[in-house]
Every structure is written in structure tokens, then in C-alpha cells.
Chains A and B, each alone.
Chain A
Amino acid sequence: MTQLILQQQIELQQQIERLLTVVEKPSRYIGGETNETVKPDATVRVALSYPDAYEIGISNQALQILYGLINDRTEAAAERVYCPWPDMADAMRLQQVPLFTLETWRPVRDVDLFGITLQAELTYSNVLELIDLAGIPIRSEDRTDRDPIVLAGGPSASNPMPLAHFIDAFFMGEAEEGLSSIIEILDTVKGREERLDRLAELPFLYIPARGERPVERAVFANFSIDTAPTKPVVPYASAIFSRASVEVMRGCTRGCRFCHAGTWYRPVRERPVEDVVKAGLEQLNCTGYDELSLTSLATSDWSGVARAVTEIKAAKPELHLSLPSNRVDTGPVALAVAANSRQRSITLAPEAATQRMRDIICKTITDEMIEKAIKSAFAAGYTSLKLYFMIGLPMETFAEVQGIVDLGFKAREIGRRQFGEGGKFTVHVSASNFVPKPHTPFQWDGMAAPEQLRVKQEYLRRTLKGRQLKLSLHDVRTSMLEGAIGRGDAITGDVLEAAWRAGARFDAWTEHHREDAWQAAFTAAGRDLEVEATRERDPLDPLPWDHVRSGVTKEFLLDEWWQSRAERPTGDCRWDGCSDCGACVGPVRNRLVEA
């Protein structure tokens, strides 16, 4: 390292230290956590980012997996960076401190690859904030050899168009196998244009500057046989999740028609029980956590769940074992009790309260199953029952909203039978707003109008109240924004840039959400936020994300859309036979473990 660079680095570190004395929660920016990796001599440097605050970003399992993968299995060094909180961002701009990585406090602009995960549309303004704070030109076309390749991945990259002006390359699908090819190119090819040319040869990368050619979603076929990561970075106390976690299964073929992950991660690949138990126990030792979470899209569907719970509890009887994302129809209560007998809160997600709506959205559970699950939850001693629903779904009538109210009261009645009229228990009803997602059967549907959502929310508020009942609702404004961006196109990118320039950032945080900035930006682009969110698409019209091949065919999605109109659910291919969605090709197929 030359003397000059070293000097600049020392100066930057001194500047950062000065900022840390004046900002809120400086521990967000210091790095140095247990299991962090520093590779000073790496020839390729990568900055991995989650476009939200440290406490959200560090809890993201996908980024932790990639961090471990790059550092442990390649010659490259991966460092982390999260979106500086507004107080820090403002101070950085004022003092001209560029965005820096946590590990070495070196400028992000100096890395070879700036990877940003896109987990939610409401973080898009923060993507621009990150690029700008790094001192990288906002638009790809203005970047030079001095700038890193800005790459975005994650589920929301499945519609890359709203960010196509700002991102050099989009990674479609699961990055475990493809990342090494990218790093190899960065290691051997110099020069921005040359690198982009070579990257464009990779089938899973979409490079906007090289045109809209078809891009294939990468599927990690070897998920089941690959070892699960065991050394995640242990966040400081403020993180939203502080626990060990092992991904037990990838993909879900239940086929819920609103669910993006249900298409994007097909087919189902399960991890063997032995590997999960081993990785879980190793993670506990390496992290010092006293909680282990077995994660997946629907952990109670994992064939190995019962055996794994038994084995882990036998090895660590006092461990707090959590099984998120349990389905109502796969014995969630018994499983939850086995995993963690002293937990007092349980979550069930019927998503819709009437049989008709569950048939429309393809949630194959019955009223009896829901009632049985509630009864067994209270009988098992749970005193806090959370029920998750959605409102504003396609073809929803008022009967569906009334159904949520009725089910809430029915749950309370069951609770009272168990604990007595004045018993100490809570039924917590949560109703989120349906937002249509690309690559799902509902991608052609619009959102419900904001007034409709507000009327329904108001009705829930008025009726679902009383002792032992709690209700939580999602902000309609942010849901509309999510809907307007999520299915957007390149013009949405212009809107995004204008909104960010007008001060939009941290849109998912109510205290920072700037509706005025967004409304003005949509208007300036000749569009209307609400129209964009509520607009139905004609199945014959091209969609902005048509060039992204998820593996699941458009014909299958359209068939599913028709089935929803016929109020008919489709079976799960794991048990009811293949419905020919297109996701299984060659070695990529459902892989279940022996229970």
C-alpha cells in the first residue's frame, strides 16, 4: 500500500471517529463483531450491503450466507455495509466522509464489487442513498473505471426494471454457485466495460447496459448436500434477531397465489436432519446464542422437522428452539410445544378467514383445521395467539372482512372456554394489505383502492375490539407505494430518483416516510401512485419483467390465475403430483429427506 493511500486511510478513520461521537447508536458503524472476517491481502474486494439500518441488515440470513461463502470459499474478501441512519448520512455528507465498510473502514467506492440485496421495495430509496454516499455516480451510464460494479440480488431483483438505471448487474436467483464465476471475472478482467461484457455472458445476470436479453434464475441444486453455514457474524445487542439459525429447506410448492417466494424459490430442497442438527449445534458454540431457529418458508412442512426437534432438544434440553413459518395444517402446535415448551406465544397464518377466499388464494386449509389449531394452542397453555390475515385480496367481498372479525371472536371464545371469561390470554389479529408481486399468479391483479382498504381497516378497528383482543394493521400509504414500485418499469426508476432527490429514504420507517416526495415524483413523471398500485394488467400485454425467466412458466401462472377466478385450489406437487409449473429441470427438482 502506498504511503499516500495509507495516509488517506488514517485520515478517513479519524473522520469516522469524529462522527461516531455525535451520532445515535455508533455501534452500527464500528464492525468488529464476533465471527467477522478481515482478509487484507485479497485481490478482489466485495462490499455486501443491506439497504437498511444495521439492526435490520445484520439479521438478514441471506447476506450472512453470502458473506461466509465469499470469505471462506473464495480468494475474495467480503466486507459489510448497511445504510447509515439519517443522522449519520447527513453528518457524512457535511464532513465529506464517503460510505465505508464496517470491517476495515475503507471506502466502498474502492471495492471491485458493491453487492446490494433487494429484499423489499421500500428499501429502494436507500439503494440510491447507499450508492450516492459511496461517491459512486447514481446512474450506471455515468460510472467509469474508478467505480465498482454495482450488483443487486435477492427476491425483489426478480423485477429489476425500477432499479435498472442505477444497478450495473442484477443476479437472478440463488447466488451460492454463481458468485464464484463473478469473482473470477473480477479477478482476471480489468476495466469496467470489459468486465460488464464478460459478466453479460453469465446466464443468470441481467446487465441493463447490454440490453434486455432473457435471463435465467439460478437455482442452487446442491442445497440439500451443501453444508449449512456455521459461523455467522454475531450482531451487537440492537439487532432485531439475535439467534442462531439454520435454513432447513429452500422453496415451497404450496402454491399460494399471492406469494412471491412460492414461485421464486421452487422447487423444494430439504436439508438432511443430521446436517441441520450438526450445523445448529456448531452455530450455538460459535456464536454464544441461546436460541436456535430452524428457518424456511414453511418449517412445519420440512419432512425432518419432528426428528430434528427431538434430536436438538435431546442434545440441549434448555435451548430455546424456534420454528417460524408454521402452517396451520401441519400440526404446528404440537411441534411448537415440542420445540419450546415454555414459550407462551404462538402464531398461525390462515391468511384468509373464509373458505372461499382461501380457495381463491390457494391456501388449502379448512375452517376445522384452523379451529383445531386454535383449540390445541390454548389447550397447550399458549396465552398469546397471533392470527395473520390479508385484506384487499382479489375478488374480496365484505364477507371476507367479516370472516376475519368472526374468526377473531371465535378464537377468543375458544380461549375463554380454556381460561375462563376473564382469563389472561390475548388473541392478536394482524391484517396486512395485499400487494401484488411479479412472477406470481396475482401479478396481473391490482391492489384494492386505498379508500377501500381504509374502510375495511376502520371496520376491523370498530368491530374487533374488546377484552383479550388486539388488532394490528399495516399503513395503507406504504403498502400503496410498495405496490406502485414493485411492478414498475424503467420510468418508475425516474420516479424513484426524483423521490430520493426530494428526501425519500428509509421508506419502511413511518417516521421517515415522505409521502409528499413520492406523490410529487410520480406526478412529475406523468403518473399517479395510486393508479400504478391499483392497475390491473392485461395478460396479453407484456410485463416489464418478462425477460426474467423464473423457471415457472407464464402459462402456469396464468392457469393459476384462472383457477383463482374459478375459486379452485391447486394441489402441492410434493404430494399431489406435478402440476407442470416448469421449475424442475435436470438435477433441479423437489428433494425431500427421509423423515
Chain B
Amino acid sequence: MAAAIAAPVSAPFGTGWWRPNAIHPAAHAVRIEFRLAIRDRARYLSHLEMVDLLLAALRRAGYQVALSHGMRPRPVISLALARGVGVASEDEHCTVELVGDSHDLDDLVVRLAATCPRGVVPLEACLAGPKTAVTGATYRIVFDAPGETLAQAVAAYRAASELLIPRRSPKQHRDVDVRRYAPEPQLDGDAVIVQIAIYDDGSAKPSEVVRALASCAPDELAVAGITRLAVHTAPKPVRVGTTETT
């Protein structure tokens, strides 16, 4: 599995798992990464629901998650890259600090598999390495459209110099050049495999790639499902004078 996890997407206060009188930062905790798949109906769980669910599954499996330091200690757990609701995944990276001096990693996967709900499948675990940054992810997007339509869409997409897709949210109102982040979608039967890069200035969402492809297609292009195949990471640049601890 990929060596380590990037900047944590920390679960915020108020989602139900934080308790003021939980265990305080443990003196002995092991930082572990595990990789999991999110399949079937579980893909409709949001990022926060997934964090919550993993915490409860770890507790049911008999593990105690260490808490962070500070006024409001929180369980130290993070998922490397937020996943859109409805997107399945074969490569979710979770980093967690478990109380104790050491843990049998194979045993952890087995125990967690028994306590995770339907569709959430732990795959493997290892000790966390140095911190990394997420540089991108690869997706497989299955379409419900004739092969010819899809092939034309992919060809037109790749030929375009830019593909602006509007991003509208209460906070944001801008056009994203999807092609810049995902320049080379590849045809794979009734699907498209696409790598989406994450740059300092942001990234494109898989749903935006779908919209961009649809805008290039001669006919309607309906999506049957999106699966994240891999999360890509790179060593995090270490500032001169700081020491990386693992």
C-alpha cells in the first residue's frame, strides 16, 4: 500500500463521537495506516459518516483510539482524501493512533472486518510512515452509453485545450478548467479511467470530469457508477529545521 497519509482531514467537533470525558492523550499510542474499500451501498456514506463509522468499528473491535492534545481532545483519525458521496473506492487510506505499545496488524484487519458494516472492507494495515501529501487519485467511471458515443467523447475531451465547468456552491462561484487537472482520460470498455491531479490551487471532482466528458459527447452520456481506484501520494516537503516524527 502507499506509504503514508497526507494532511489529515480531521473530523470536526459535534459529529457525535467526541466526548469531553473520553481518554486523554495516551502516552503510548501507535500510528497505523490501513487501507479499505468502500463498496455497494456504503458509497453513499459521507466523509464524516465514514470517519464516525470507523471509530465505532475500531471500538467494537476492542481498540482504543488515542486523543489529540489541547483543550478539546479529539480522536486521532483521518482519511487521506475526502470522497464524494456516491463514489465507491478500492483505495481509501485511513490513519489512526491506537492506544497501546504495539498491535498485530493482520489481526487488526481481521477484527475490523468483523465489525465494519456491510460494504466497508478493510484490506491491509501497516505502521504509518513519514507524512505524505496527496497528489491525485485515479477513478474508473462507468457509463451507460453506446461505445461509439463514449469513444467520441473521450477523443473530443483529449483534443480540447481547456474544458471549463462551472462550480457553484454557497461559498464558491467559478469555472474550473477540468482538463488541466485530468488531461488524459482513457477508454476502458464501457468505462473511462482518469487520473485527477491535485495541485496547490485545487483540483477537479470526478463529477466535473463526467460533466466535461458529457459536454464533449455527441449524444447523452449517462453515468452508471464511479469508483476510486487509487490515491496517489508523494513525500511531504519537510521544512529546514523541522524534524519528522513517525
Chain A positions within 8 Å of B, measured between CB atoms, are 20-21, 25-27, 29-34, 36, 234, 236-239, 242, 285-291, 318-320, 340-344
Contact = CB atoms under 8 A, between A and B. Distances in A.
A27 B44 contact: yes
B151 interface: no
A513 to B, nearest CB: 24
B118 interface: yes
Nearest to A102: B41
Given A236-B52, A237-B15, A34 B57 contact: yes
Contacts of B57: 34, 288
Contacts of B204: none
Given A34-B115, A288-B56, A26 B85 contact: yes
| Interface pairs A-B: 10 shortest CB-CB | A288-B56, A288-B59, A237-B52, A32-B118, A342-B21, A288-B60, A26-B44, A30-B41, A242-B16, A237-B49
B29 to A, nearest CB: 15
Contacts of B86: 20-21, 26
Contacts of A291: 19
A320 B21 contact: yes
Contacts of B229: none
A422 B130 CA distance: 48
B58 A288 contact: yes
A20 B22 CA distance: 35
Contact of B20 (A30, A237, A286, A344): A344
Given A237-B53, A238-B49, A286-B60, A20 B21 contact: no
Contacts of B100: none
Interface in B31-57: 40-42, 44-46, 48-49, 51-53, 55-57
A544 to B, nearest CB: 41
B117 interface: yes
A29 B45 CA distance: 10
A571 to B, nearest CB: 38
B21 A287 contact: no
A26 to B, nearest CB: 4
Contacts of A30: 41-42, 44-45
Given A30-B45, A318-B21, 12 more contacts: A27-B45, A27-B46, A30-B41, A30-B42, A34-B57, A236-B53, A237-B17, A237-B49, A242-B16, A285-B60, A286-B60, A287-B56
B23 interface: yes
A33 B115 contact: no
B63 to A, nearest CB: 10
Interface range for B: 20 to 34
B119 interface: yes
A320 B22 contact: yes
Nearest to B52: A237
Contacts of A285: 60
Nearest to A29: B44
Most buried by A among B15, B22, B46, B117: B117
A264 B58 CA distance: 41
A54 B16 CA distance: 16
Contact of A340 (B15, B21, B46, B49): B21
Contacts of A344: 20
A344 B117 CA distance: 33
B212 to A, nearest CB: 18
A34 B60 contact: yes
Contacts of B21: 318-320, 340-343
Contacts of A25: 46
A34 B117 contact: yes
A31 B45 CA distance: 10
Contact of B19 (A20, A32, A320): A320
Given A27-B46, A31-B41, A320-B22, A290 B53 contact: no
Contacts of A340: 21
B108 to A, nearest CB: 15
A378 to B, nearest CB: 18
Interface in B82-135: 85-86, 115, 117-119
A15 to B, nearest CB: 13
Contacts of B15: 237
A21 B224 CA distance: 10
B39 to A, nearest CB: 11
B60 A237 contact: no
Nearest to A34: B117
Contacts of B56: 34, 234, 287-289
B18 to A, nearest CB: 9
